Amino acid sequence: MEKQWYDDEAFYVEEKMYGLWSSTDKEGNAIITSLTEEECIRSTRWYLKAKQEGEFDKISEKTYDSTVGGKL
């Protein structure tokens, strides 16, 4: 069966076992696994756009303080 590529051959989706759908990039790396084909396509497009725009690089800039005050 021939693969249907999306967005200028950036990725394709295929049905895997148990009815799950998975997307794969040109290099053969798995990207997203979803319950439906439509959700897999939509989520993969969002992920690739965010990755291209450097959105995931901004995550490492955030810091959190996990101090709990009070007596336990």
Q: What is the per-residue pLDDT for 61?
A: 64
DSSP 31: E
DSSP 17: G
- From the number of C-beta atoms within 10 Å of its C-beta (0-12, 13-18, 19+), residue 52 rates as exposed
Q: pLDDT of 33-45, one tens digit each?
A: 999 999 999 999 9
Please report, for the chain, the start and end positions of each structural domain, with discontinuous segments joined by +: 5-52
Q: What is the per-residue pLDDT for 31?
A: 96
Query: Sorting pLDDT into bands at 50, 70 and 90, what band is 65?
Result: confident
Confidence check: pLDDT of 66 > 80: no
